[in-house]
Amino acid sequence: MTLLELDGVQKRFGAVEALRGVTLAVDAGEVVALVGDNGAGKSTLMKTITGVYRPDGGAIRFEGQDITGLEPGAIRARGIEMIYQDLALARQQDVAANIFLGREPVRRLLGVLPMIDRRRIETEALRMVRRLGARLPSVHYEVGLLSGGQQQSVAIARALTFDPKLVIMDEPTAALAVREVEHVLELIRELRRQRIGVILISHRLTDVFAVADRIVALRQGMVIADERAAATTMQEVVAHIVGAH
Amino acid sequence: MADAAAPVRPPLSHRLSFRIESLVVLLVLCTAMAVLSPYFLSVSNFLNILLATATIGVLAIGATFVICAAGIDLSLGSVLGLSGVVGAIFSVKLEVPWPMALVAGLATGAAAGFVNGILVTRGGIPAFIVTLGMLGIARGLALILTNGQAVYGLDPALVFLGQGRPWGVPMPALVFLLVALVTHWLLAYTRFGRYTLVIGDNEAAARAMGIRVERHKVALYTLSGLLAGTAGILFMARVNAGDPTAGLGYELTAITAAIIGGTNLFGGRGSILGTFIGALVMGVLQNGLNLLAVQSYYQQMAIGTVLIFAVWLDQSSRRRGR
Ligand SMILES: Nc1ncnc2c1ncn2[C@@H]1O[C@H](COP(=O)(O)OP(=O)(O)OP(=O)(O)O)[C@@H](O)[C@H]1O
Ligand SMILES: [Mg+2]
């Protein structure tokens, strides 16, 4: 079943044409790797999906419905989560607050006064952190005090806590140690088993070949290759990225 | 590194939402004043301090919200003046019932804040410039509306807001406490408050997580204006006049109080409890300087010095990793 469809998506920043008509589809339970050189437009493409950028042309459909131009909150509510390359964390908030950012459960004190339900946030964040096996000192820790890898775990936990249907990961393993990278790759396989769609952006081609069903190469804002992982080789993918084809 | 299963308690300074130093400063200041002046330690002087702190305190709460979101509102003092003038004109010249005059004053403050918010978000003009412009506009408007003359002869009910003393406690102090309670709940316990801090912390992240950043900022500047309007009404009621020069330079004191209380000048952190303490520090300082008969010119210098010192202290302790 087609989960996400991009149809001729365009985006420009002033004189820079970051996306020149990208067409792409992702099925439920499919892991699609998106590769390309620095500045190819990978992050821009993903941010147009999540509503951070409004596309200048083309259409985006999710579960058959047009989501082009919706706000990030509305798109998250439909089940698209993204782990941003810069992680998008509030450094002065603690781990639990970051995991629930934008989705804080609210209880009513004495039946009237709305308050963020801190206890629920803490217990559920802790459960998620444990499930992911992330190495964090405590969910009460300010995120800014954590190491780069730990911060990445927080961003991953946030993307997976609310039963997403599609998870977009922009370099999710860039700051992780070997053990944690293995863990993320295992997570991606687990997502596939749960019929969740995954778009993985990575410069580490060994990781890409370890988990991806399909590999899409982007160059200067255009899709220049879209192949089954089993039907291609690392040399071919490298050639697409650097533009030898 | 421990596992999440065995949680490590973060250091105390991270669990408190305000700076302990501000409380220490307040105690030291009070002790010094008590030694220097025999009048300092009396119930009536304590109530005086609360009364004198009320206007600045309400203003400082407005400053706190905006600074927490990495903005700034320099128009606080002028909007205070304009709101008081409008309230007085409605009461004295238009002779409307006092609740309407009250609402007119508050609405003026909120409207000025709303304009600030729209210009900052839609216009894309830096908050520093927008609110500096509003500082001039609101003050000028207050002077034009009154011809530069204070408007006297308020409804007694309005005067009660400034001079009344139910159970011996000055009304402005009661209003200040009430405003502090409500805004403390708002900043510390609600989504609105948390999003305010997150916007100041990482605006792009806030947007990506679905927070409506622009709308929220407009609400924040409007709230700041509304609080300036509240302070304006309190000031007007206390001096029993719509004075177009009321609140001149008060933004300096208000922002200083917020910073002393632990509000991060660059956004993402702050609390009303801290600002409450910060406002008391400023109140005690001014009260003490008054008791010691220090000229107000020197008081201005003292406040300016405290502001720079507080920011320096905050920044250097942050650099050391607190
Ligand atoms: N907000 C922006 N404003 C202006 N230009 C932008 C913006 N975001 C991206 N660009 C430009 O768009 C192009 C694509 O950038 P993008 O970040 O999507 O690349 P990328 O494929 O994610 O690269 P990397 O592998 O380095 O993360 C670049 O030329 C970049 O300079
Ligand atoms: Mg990128």
CATH of residue B72's domain is 1.10.3470.10
- Choosing from A19, A35, A44, A56 the residue with most ligand 1 atoms within 8 A of its CB, the one to mutate for a pocket test is A44
Residue A121 structure tokens: 């946030």
In single-letter form, the type of residue at position B131 comes to T
Half-sphere exposure of B89 (CA within 13 A, CB side): 20
pLDDT at residue A1 above 80?
A: no
Environment class of B213 (CB within 10 Å of its CB; exposed 0-12, middle 13-18, buried 19+): middle
Cβ neighbours of residue B320 closer than 8 Å, sequence gap 6 or more = none
Domain tally, chain B: 1
Q: What is the DSSP code (8-state) at residue A170?
A: E
Residues facing B76 on adjacent strands: none
Residue B22 has a pLDDT of 81
pLDDT at residue B319 above 80?
A: no
Query: Closest Cα to residue A220, out of A20, A7, A10, A34?
Result: A20
Kindly state whether A177 is in contact with chain B, defined as any CB-CB distance less than 8 angstroms: no
pLDDT at residue B7 above 60?
A: no
pLDDT at residue B4 above 60?
A: no
Check residue A221 and give left, alpha or beta (phi > 0: left; psi -120 to 50: alpha): left
Element (H, E) at A197: strand A197-201
Element (H, E) at B83: helix B76-92
The closest-lying atom of ligand 1 relative to the alpha carbon of residue A42 is 21
Distance CA B269, CA B262 (A): 8
Distance CA A184, CA A160 (A): 12
B143 in a domain, yes or no?
yes
Q: Which of A20-29, A160-169, B221-230, B301-310 is the least confident region?
A: B301-310
Contact A60, A67 (CB under 8 A): yes
- Structural domain span for residue B98: 19-30+39-315
Q: Answer yes or no: do B208 and A135 touch at CB < 8 A.
A: no
B11 in a domain, yes or no?
no
B3 in a domain, yes or no?
no
What angle (nearest 5°) sits at the alpha carbon of residue A144, between those of residues A121 and A103? 30
Residue B142 structure tokens: 């207050």
The structural domains of chain A, ordered by start, are: 1-79+164-245 (3.40.50.300), 90-163 (no CATH)
B311 in a domain, yes or no?
yes
Residues facing A26 on adjacent strands: A4
Q: What are φ and ψ of residue A9, in 5° steps?
A: -75, 130
Strand intervals (E) in chain B = 151-152, 241-242
Distance CA B150, CA B307 (A): 31
What angle (nearest 5°) sits at the alpha carbon of residue A71, between those of residues B213 and A175? 75
Confidence of residue B36 (pLDDT cuts 50, 70, 90): confident
Contact A177, A8 (CB under 8 A): no
B13 in a domain, yes or no?
no
Contact A199, A170 (CB under 8 A): no
Average pLDDT, integer, range A170-178: 87
Residue B96 structure tokens: 């409307």
Q: Which of residues 25 through 64 in chain A touch B, CB cutoff 8 A? A: 47, 50, 52
DSSP, collapsed to helix, strand or coil, labels residue A183 as helix
Quote the distance between the C-alpha of residue A2 and its chain's center: 18
Q: What is the DSSP code (8-state) at residue A142?
A: B
Quote the percentage of chain B above a pLDDT of 90. Answer: 71
B149-195: pLDDT as tens digits? 999 999 999 999 999 999 989 999 999 999 999 999 999 999 999 99
B10 in a domain, yes or no?
no
**Model confidence, pTM:** 0.92
Quote the percentage of chain A above a pLDDT of 90. Answer: 82
- Choosing from A10, A42, A83 the residue with most ligand 1 atoms within 8 A of its CB, the one to mutate for a pocket test is A42
Dist. CA B204 → ligand 2 center (Å):
15
DSSP, collapsed to helix, strand or coil, labels residue A27 as strand
The closest-lying atom of ligand 1 relative to the alpha carbon of residue A46 is 18
B199-234: pLDDT as tens digits? 999 999 999 999 999 999 999 999 999 999 999 999
Element (H, E) at A48: helix A42-49
B207 in a domain, yes or no?
yes
Confidence of residue B14 (pLDDT cuts 50, 70, 90): low
Kindly state whether A234 is in contact with chain B, defined as any CB-CB distance less than 8 angstroms: no
B204 in a domain, yes or no?
yes
Contact B194, A116 (CB under 8 A): yes
Query: Closest Cα to residue B225, out of B66, B76, B69, B57?
Result: B76
